[in-house]
Structure 1
Amino acid sequence: MHLLLAIGAVFGGTALVIDPSGRLLGVTLSILNTSPFTNFLIPGLILLIMLGIGPLLICYALIKRTHWKVPSKLNVFKDTHWSWAFSLYCGFALITWITLQTYFIQGVALIHVVYVAWGIAIQIATLLPSVRRHYLLDHE
């Protein structure tokens, strides 16, 4: 789930950074009229970093169980590997991103529902007892 999310977000975020007008993705600037943004540069950077690069790193860490100091310090679940916590954070980030997006554009499309469901699915999968057990630190 993280890898597919990352691929889409890297593509979309990069396209918005390259062309902040949104034309590259077929999006018009008018949907930003009720948002704090005048173009898609900042939303593109947020998308690229938070939902593109972030989930790529999480995916890698979930597989390899890497020991990185900064994410370990940001892990509020001290009994689990940081990648498990960041998987949960990623689900929250996706739901928050879509919620803010629908608020700012003042509309909801099917794709928004799909991505909120995706965020919930990430959280459900992360919270499964077998998954949590797998990432308990004493399990390593």
Structure 2
Amino acid sequence: GGEGGLPFRPGMSGVHTHMTNTRNTPVEALELAYPLRIEEYRLIRKSGGPGHHPGGDGIRRSIRFLGERGVASILTERRARAPKGLQGGHDGRTGRNTLRRHGRSRILPAKATLELRRDDLLVIETPGGGGWGPPRPRGA
């Protein structure tokens, strides 16, 4: 997701995903290891909290399951409570997990184990980081 803003710089976007000891698991590694296709992978613009040093933006991943049946575990944070801004900075946006199956969407909890079927789409949106310090007035 997005890193929180710091006293000396804005937060970085799309980092701290805590997956495989890398900043971000490469799409190719996931697609080679599992029966899935990454259909969308992008920053969620303006998901970081405003501040003198704004929080970094989170990531949106849309993952299509290609196997007949499978199981996925989701272990995420900051779905109910936003990442807090500090020293007058504003909160970042919460994350969200969504399962789309047969044209219907279902919001998933932060932690879940779910059965997947062919063509299910799992959308994972990571939170934006909180901002640091009061936002600057426009034009300042």
TM surpasses 0.5: no
> More helix per residue: 1 or 2?
1
- Which structure is richer in relative contact order (CA contacts within 8 A, separation 6 or more)? 2
Name the structure with the higher strand share. 2
* TM-score with structure 2 setting the length: 0.30
**What's the TM-score once normalised by structure 1's chain length?**
0.30
